[in-house]
Amino acid sequence: DCAVLLPPLSRGTLAMAVLVPRGWVHTGRVAPSDRVQLTFALKQQNVDRLRELLGLVSNPDSPQYGKFLTLEEVTSLVHPSDLTHKVVWGWLQSHGVAACHTVLTQDFLQCDTTAQVAETLLPGSEFHRYRKGRRSVVRSPARYSVHADLAQHLDFVGGVHRFPTEMQTVSRAWTNGARHEAKFHLGVTPVVLRSRYNLTAADVGSAENNSQAVAQFLEQFYHPADLAEFMAIFGSGFKHMSQVARVVGTQGGGKAGLEASLDVEYIMSTGANISTWVFTNPGRHESQEPFLQWMLLLSNMSSVPWVHTVSYGDDEDSLAAAYMMRINNEFMKAGIRGISILFASGDSGAGCRHLTKGTNAFRPSFPASSPYVTTVGGTSFKNPFQVTYEVTDYISGGGFSNIFPMPDYQLAAVSAYLKGTTLPPKTYFNTSGRAYPDIAALSDNYWVVSNRVPIPWVSGTSASTPVVGGMLSLINDQRFLKGLPSLGFLNPRLYQLKGQALFDVTEGCHLSCLDDQVEGKGFCAAPSWDPVTGWGTPNYPSLLATLLDK
């Protein structure tokens, strides 16, 4: 249900309907004069060269390793052609659209116009308003088209079809079951994480030029008072900051979100004493796509934090391939600048998609399935009452992309898993697709302070992701002190390590389709890499030593 470019509709042909996600209630068609905001993704140049250069600056065996590009150099590489700019601008101006702004890389145009003009620009579209709780969005439930001469200059148009979505952090304290009654459960706190991953009180940031970030979308906000209270309760054993250094965007009012509280508290307690930014985009305009707004910010800021952690995802099959390919280009643009982007692998195990009657398949998630991000899975303690070794958290997202081929950096590791393990039926997954996650950390039973209340049993890969991100920020810190560049896109180097400096997770399976064939069981953990916990969880001092050698 993503905004995609289709061939022009012939007269009398009905546009294909877009599936409106559950929970969104249609409230009517917008007035012709109502404003909408459209984002035009202009075709970029030299994308193959961008991919090639990313491979070189990310491969420790390359002489170009760590020789990252500036945003200005990225712009000169990928900016759209003069013809593309001329054609797209001419098309917009011929419809009276003038209120547009671009980004530094010149490959996005964001334009404000009326619904009537938008529907004329995009034949077949018809803008309606939908509500979900207090949120309101304007979207078109019908597919649109543009003329073939124009389509060759655009990847997609944002603000038309895609409804906001986000992984939900859950507190298992709010569910029924045995976990709820475990009154003396250990619970995961910064001290527990530092104990398990062997961080000492001295493992805190000190480099002036280091920073890290979390990205939050929709109605997710953190409260500064919650962060201060969290650090007062749980941060006494190590030097830390109790305030976010910079908020990019607008923090909304109202209650703090559990997701936002978790992200900020755990990246700042793991990546302790490191300047932290929060990118927040609630989607203030009804036709905005918050995730897309964040991507535009990365293309418009010459100085951004070195590590970004994001808990966000969509089912791959709900998105257009052209949209995902373009988002991958944006991830490559970040990686080639030395930025590490981490995504949560999701909380639905292998997922499940119901195909024809009685037939199911696993359901990969994007951007977790992107070959150009580091995807983080989840684990639990084997014994939940003490710091022990880790096993699979059954919710940990993982699997194989149906869109993106397996990248070279993981071919050997994934091939070994596919040959050496009992697998689900091959009809359930694409054995040649990009496999994820890449790495993991504890994702079960966290303590979080939200709205001034300490909350136990908060779980999800949106917990493990900022923890791994914080540790990568600490490693960047030590690299900067030695005069080395940032880690950048980590995956090629991570897979070269072959599990060195990581705790291998070899027990447990994650969930999947509840049917007669797989009976709710997806993939299972195994020695070395697996599609549940990746290469395992960080042994921080070993990982630091390994990643400081060049």
Alpha helices in 421-539 (DSSP H): 461-481, 491-497
Contact 521, 509 (CB under 8 A): yes
SS3 167: coil
Six-digit token string for 353: 């998609």
Host H or E run for residue 263: helix 258-270
HEC profile of 86-143: HHHHHHHHHCCCCCEEECCCCCEEEEEEEHHHHHHHCCCCCCEEEEECCEEEEECCEC
Integer CA distances (angstroms), 143 to 11, 112, 421, 499, in order: 14, 20, 43, 46
Q: Which amino acid is at 149?
A: D
Burial (Cβ within 10 Å: 0-12, 13-18, ≥19) of residue 384 = middle
Distance CA 410, CA 312 (A): 23
Contact 489, 306 (CB under 8 A): no
Q: Which amino acid is at 487?
A: L
Distance CA 257, CA 255 (A): 6
Q: Which amino acid is at 90?
A: G
Distance CA 380, CA 361 (A): 26
Phi, psi of 438 (to 5 degrees): -100, -30
Taking Cα atoms as reference points, which of 287, 282, 15 lies closest to residue 128?
287
- Whether omega before 437 lies within 30 degrees of 0, making that bond cis, reads yes
Could you identify the residue written with the tokens 């689900």?
Answer: 424
Name every residue whose Cβ is closer than 8 Å to that of residue 264 and which is 6 or more positions away in sequence.
214, 222, 227, 244, 276, 278, 466
Contact 286, 486 (CB under 8 A): no
User: How do 211-217 and 307-310 pair as beta strands?
Assistant: parallel
Distance CA 308, CA 313 (A): 15
- Please list the active-site residues: 259, 263, 462
Six-digit token string for 447: 């303590």
Six-digit token string for 482: 């030695």
Q: Work out the angle at residue 231's Cα, subtended by the Cα atoms of residues 228 and 234, and round it to the nearest 5 degrees.
A: 145
Contact 469, 342 (CB under 8 A): yes
Going by the DSSP 8-state scheme, the letter that residue 513 receives in this structure is -
Q: Where are the beta strands (DSSP E) in 274-349?
A: 275-281, 307-310, 314-315, 340-344
